[in-house]
A and B are shown apart, each in its own frame.
Chain A
Amino acid sequence: MNVQAKTWVSIGPLTEIPRQGARCVKNGDMSIAVFRTSQDQVFALEDKCPHKNGPLSQGIVHDGCVTCPLHNWVISLETGAAQGADVGQTATFEIKIKDGIVLLAL
C-alpha cells in the first residue's frame, strides 16, 4: 500500500460489526472486509480470497483466521496469508479502534 498517502477514515462504532463476524466497506470499486474477533480485535482485508476471489467477509471467523465460504481456504486476518498448504495472500489494511470508533487506513 501507498505509505505516504495514508488517510485514516472512520467507519463507525465497533459495536456495528458483529463479534466473530465482518462487515464490508466500499472504497470505490474495492470492497474491504472489516472483521471483529471474539476478543474485539479488528482486522481489515480486501474482500477477495487469494484462491478464486471468494468474499472473505462472508466466512466463519475463528482463532485469528477466516475460512473462505467458497472452498474453505483459511486466511490469516492479520497478514492475509493463506494458511496450511495453500499459497496466496490477500491485501491487508491498517485498522485501529479509538474511543470505540473503528478507523481504517486507506
Chain B
Amino acid sequence: MSKKHLVIVGNGMAPGRMLEHLFEVTDAYDVTIFNAEPRVNYDRIMLSPVLSGEKTYADIIIHGEGWYEEHGITLHQGEKITEIHRNERKVLSEAGREVAYDKLVIATGSNPFIIPLPGHDLPGVLAYRDLDDTGAMIDASDKGGRAVVIGGGLLGLEAAAGLKQRGMEVTVIHLMPTLMERQLDTAAGYLLQRELEGRGIEVLCEANTKQILGKDRVEGVELADGRVIDASLVVMAVGIRPNVQLAQEAGLEINRGIVTDATMKTSDPNIYSVGECVEVGGLVYGLVAPLYRMAKVAADHLAGASEMAFAHAETPTKLKVTGCDLYSVGDFAEGDGREDIVLRDAMRGTYKRVILKDNKIIGAVLYGDVADGGWYNELLKSGEDISEMRETLIFGQAYQGGAGADPLAAVANLADDAEICGCNGITKGTIMAAIQAKGLTTLADVRAHTKASASCGTCTGLVENVMALTLGDAFQLPASEGMCPCTPHSHGHVRRLIKAKGLKSIPAVMQALEWTTPEGCAKCRPALNYYLVADWPGVYVDDQQSRFINERVHANIQKDGTYSVVPRMFGGITTPDELRAIADVADKYEIPTVKVTGGQRIDLLGVKKEDLIPVWADLNAAGMISGAAYAKGLRTVKTCVGSDWCRFGTQDSTGLGIKLEHYLWGAWTPAKLKLAVSGCPRNCAESTCKDIGIVCVDSGYEVLYGGAAGLHIQGTTKLGTVPSEEDVIEVVGALTQYYRETGFYLERIYKWADRLGYDHIREVILDDLDQRKAYNARFAYAQSFAQVDPWAEFVSGKDAHEFNPINIRKLEAAE
C-alpha cells in the first residue's frame, strides 16, 4: 500500500511538534521537509541562554538527525521552497528540486521586522531570530565595545541581558515610555527598567532612532533628538511579521498571516499551515504555546476525520533573563467594570496586580514574585468566580486555606510575642494589652500609648488588624487615613519618604510606597507631581498629565469651558503700551469680558481654548508673560504707591513689590501664594490678610504671613522686622522655600503655619541666619529652572496638541 506524501515547508518548532503528534496516531504519510535554515529542529526559545552562555547549540536541539532517520523523513536542510504549484500539487525548491504532495503544510514562521532606517544594512546591524544571528552577536561581543539594542520588548531585553553578560556595554532604545508595554503595565515596566539599570544596562525610553551611523560597518546610532550613541553592534528587535510571501504568491488567502480555519486548513483544502505564519480566528501568535495547540489540531486533521478545533487562549509572558522575574497574562488594560487588586512590597521590590471583571480574573501582572502566576492563569482560564477568596486572592494560593479564609486570620495566627512594629519593637501582645487595659479605640490612641506604627508607619495596616481582632465589631477598619484612597500614607509620610528614599518619579513613589492602584487618582497624582517638582528641581520632569487643566494650559477654566487669561503686571504697574496690547487682543479675539482683578491686574474672560495660543503670542509680543492666575504657585504681589506718591509712604513699596514679584514668579507652591507690600501701616495694599504681607515702617520692613481672606478670614502673624529690601527678599525666599518643602499639597500657608507652629517657623527662618540663607539658596536654585514663561513655550510649539481640536480627516466606508 503506497503511503500519501506529506510535504512541509519550514522546520521550526511548530511543525516539529505537529509531526510528533502525527506519528503517535498514524503512519499513513511519507514526509519530506524543506528548511531554509541549514539545521535540524532546535528550540528557538533557548537562543537567549545560548547568547548569554548558559547553554550551547547542542543543548537546544529538539530533533537530532537520528529522529528523522527513525521516522523515514527526508529533510532538505538549507533548501528553500520558492514556488507552490497548487494545480499540480507540487513544490519547487531553489535548488530546482520538484516534489509532489498529497498534503502540504506551510510553516514558514515569521521574519524579524527591520526598520528601514538609513544605515540599517550596514555590517554589524543584526536581527535576533536564529542561530546565525546569535552566533554573530557572540562574535561581536568578543570584540567588546557597546551594543545598542533597538526595541525594549521581550526579545530586545533578552538580547541586551545576554550581551551584557558577555561583557559588552549595552544601551536599549525604546520608543514607548515603559519597557515591554504590551505585556506589562507602567508599574511593572518601571520595576523592570530599574532592575536592568541596576545591572548596568542603559535604558532610554521614549527614544526614537533616526539613523544608524557608520561607513563600512556600524559605528553608532543617532536619535531623533540629536543624541549620538557609539556602537560596534546594533540589534534590531522591534517585532516580527508573519512570513507569508510563499503562500501569497501561491494565491492562498492572506490577511496579516496565512488565513486558516479552526482546523488549520488554508483556503486550499490540501494545504494546512501552522506556526507564527498563521492567522486563525483573526489573530496571529508569537509564543509557542498556541503554536503547539495548532500543531496538535493540524496533526489530528491530517490523520483523518477529527472534531478538534483551535481555540484562542491567553498565553502568559515571561522574560528569560535570570533574576528578572515577571509574568503577565490576559488583559490588563483599563476598562469599565474592571477592578484592580494591587499588592506592592517595596522591601522585596515586588508588584502584583490582578484584574477582575464580574468577579472573574481577566488578567494578571506580576513582578518579582511570580510564584502564583500559574495559579492566576488557571483561575483566568477556568473563569472561576473568585468572590469567596477575594480578600486574600492577591496574597496567592498559599493563603487560600480552604474554609474560613480571612484577611485577619494571618494576624490572628501570630503569636503574642510576634513583633508588629519593627521600628519601635512593639509586639502583638503589647498592643492587645494596651487596647484592653486603657480602652483604646482609635489608631491615634494606639500610636500615642504604644508607639506602634508611630514611626515609619508601614505597619499601620497590621496594627489596625490587631485592633480589629481585639475590639471585634467595635472597631471599623478605617477606609484610610492616607492622602487619598490609593494609599494609606499621609501627605507627611509621602513627602518624607520621597526625600529619604530618593524617589524621583511618580511610578517610583507608587512602587516604593505601595500604592494600591496602578495609576493613582486625580487627588494623589497632582500632589505627587508637586512634591517631585519641589523636591528635585532640574531633575524631575513635570508630568503634564498629572496636573489639573488650569496648570496644564496655563489659564483658568471657566464654568462654560472657556478660559480666562491674566497677564502678569509686576507689582500692579502697567504701561499705556501694555494696556493698548490688551485692548487689541480683547477686540481681535472678541473676548466678552475684561475685568480688573483683586490682585491689581486685568483678566480677560471667555477666551476659547483654540484662541489661547494666538492670544498669548500677541501678549508675549507686547512683552507680557503669564500671570499664573491659575497656579498653585505665586500669583500676585499687590502694592500701594508708597513713598513715590503717597504723603504717608515710608519706603518704596511699589519698587519692592516689583522686585519681589520678579524674584518669585514661576515658583510652584503647595497652594496659591499671594503677596502684598504696603508703604505704611495704613495698609492700603491689604498686606495683613495675604499669604505673605510686607508693611513698610520708618525703621524698615515688617514681614507678615499666614493671612487668609477667602472662605476663612484670618489676619497675618508677624514673622519679624528686617532693615533692608535685600533682607525682605531673602526672608521671603526662605519662608517660601520652607513652605514648599514641608507643606502638604493644597495646604495654604496659614494652615501650614498652624501645623508647624509660628514660633518654630520664626526660629528657622528669621532667627537662624544659616538656615535662612540655606533655604533661600535652595529657593533661588529651584527658580533657575522654574522661571520659564509657559506662554512663550506654548507659542513656540510645545504641546500644540493641547489646544487644537483634531479634524476629521477622511470618511471611511459606512459599515
Q: Which residues of A contact B (CB under 8 A)?
A: 5-12, 16-21, 23-27, 31, 34, 37-41, 52-55, 58-65, 67, 69-70, 72, 74, 76-79, 81, 103-106
In the complex formed, the residue of B with least CB distance to A25 is B806
Q: List 25 contacting pairs A-B, 8 Å CB cutoff, sorted by A.
A: A6-B814, A6-B815, A7-B812, A7-B814, A7-B815, A8-B814, A11-B808, A11-B809, A12-B807, A24-B805, A25-B805, A25-B808, A34-B806, A38-B186, A41-B335, A53-B560, A54-B561, A60-B522, A62-B520, A62-B521, A64-B335, A77-B334, A77-B336, A79-B336, A106-B808
Nearest-CB distance from B13 to chain A (Å)?
Answer: 29
Tell whether, in the assembled complex, residue A24 and residue B806 are in contact, meaning their CB atoms are under 8 Å apart. yes
Nearest-CB distance from A56 to chain B (Å)?
Answer: 10
Tell whether, in the assembled complex, residue A60 and residue B525 are in contact, meaning their CB atoms are under 8 Å apart. yes
> What residues of chain A lie closer than 8 Å to B526, measured between beta carbons?
60
> What residues of chain B lie closer than 8 Å to A55, measured between beta carbons?
557, 561
Is B415 an interface residue, CB under 8 A from the partner? no
In the complex formed, the residue of B with least CB distance to A83 is B336
Separation of A34 and B806 alpha carbons in the complex (Å) = 9
Tell whether, in the assembled complex, residue A26 and residue B557 are in contact, meaning their CB atoms are under 8 Å apart. no
Tell whether, in the assembled complex, residue A18 and residue B518 are in contact, meaning their CB atoms are under 8 Å apart. no
Q: What is the interface of chain B mostly: helix, strand, loop, or mixed?
A: loop
Query: Closest 8 CB pairs between A and B?
Result: A64-B334, A78-B336, A67-B522, A58-B549, A20-B545, A8-B812, A60-B522, A55-B561
Contact A21-B545, Cβ < 8 Å, known A7-B812, A53-B561: yes
- In addition to A39-B185, A77-B336, A78-B337, 7 A-B residue pairs with Cβ atoms within 8 Å of each other are A9-B809, A10-B812, A12-B809, A17-B801, A17-B806, A63-B334, A65-B334
Separation of A14 and B333 alpha carbons in the complex (Å) = 16
Nearest-CB distance from B536 to chain A (Å)?
Answer: 21
Nearest-CB distance from B353 to chain A (Å)?
Answer: 11
Is B143 an interface residue, CB under 8 A from the partner? no
Is B97 an interface residue, CB under 8 A from the partner? no
Separation of A60 and B805 alpha carbons in the complex (Å) = 18
Nearest-CB distance from B173 to chain A (Å)?
Answer: 17
Tell whether, in the assembled complex, residue B333 and residue A39 are in contact, meaning their CB atoms are under 8 Å apart. yes
> What residues of chain B lie closer than 8 Å to A7, measured between beta carbons?
811-812, 814-815
Nearest-CB distance from B464 to chain A (Å)?
Answer: 23
Tell whether, in the assembled complex, residue A60 and residue B545 are in contact, meaning their CB atoms are under 8 Å apart. yes
Tell whether, in the assembled complex, residue B525 and residue A62 are in contact, meaning their CB atoms are under 8 Å apart. yes
Interface residue from A8, A19, A63, A77 paired with B545 (Cβ < 8 Å): A19
Is B726 an interface residue, CB under 8 A from the partner? no
> What residues of chain B lie closer than 8 Å to A72, measured between beta carbons?
522
Separation of A18 and B801 alpha carbons in the complex (Å) = 8
Nearest-CB distance from B302 to chain A (Å)?
Answer: 35
Tell whether, in the assembled complex, residue B809 and residue A69 are in contact, meaning their CB atoms are under 8 Å apart. no
Please encode chain B, from 491 to 535, with 1 for each CB lying within 8 Å of some chain A CB and 0 for all others. 000000000000000000000000001111110011000000000
Tell whether, in the assembled complex, residue A41 and residue B545 are in contact, meaning their CB atoms are under 8 Å apart. no
Nearest-CB distance from B805 to chain A (Å)?
Answer: 4
Nearest-CB distance from A25 to chain B (Å)?
Answer: 5
Nearest-CB distance from A89 to chain B (Å)?
Answer: 11
Contact A10-B809, Cβ < 8 Å, known A16-B801, A63-B340, A78-B335: yes
> What residues of chain B lie closer than 8 Å to A77, measured between beta carbons?
334, 336
> What residues of chain A lie closer than 8 Å to B802, measured between beta carbons?
18
Is B720 an interface residue, CB under 8 A from the partner? no
Contact A16-B806, Cβ < 8 Å, known A63-B334, A63-B519, A72-B522: yes
Tell whether, in the assembled complex, residue B805 and residue A26 are in contact, meaning their CB atoms are under 8 Å apart. yes
Separation of A34 and B557 alpha carbons in the complex (Å) = 19
Nearest-CB distance from B208 to chain A (Å)?
Answer: 11
Separation of A67 and B545 alpha carbons in the complex (Å) = 12
> What residues of chain A lie closer than 8 Å to B177, measured between beta carbons?
19
Interface residue from A6, A20, A27, A76 paired with B808 (Cβ < 8 Å): A27
Separation of A103 and B521 alpha carbons in the complex (Å) = 28
Separation of A65 and B517 alpha carbons in the complex (Å) = 13
Tell whether, in the assembled complex, residue B814 and residue A11 are in contact, meaning their CB atoms are under 8 Å apart. no
Separation of A74 and B520 alpha carbons in the complex (Å) = 13
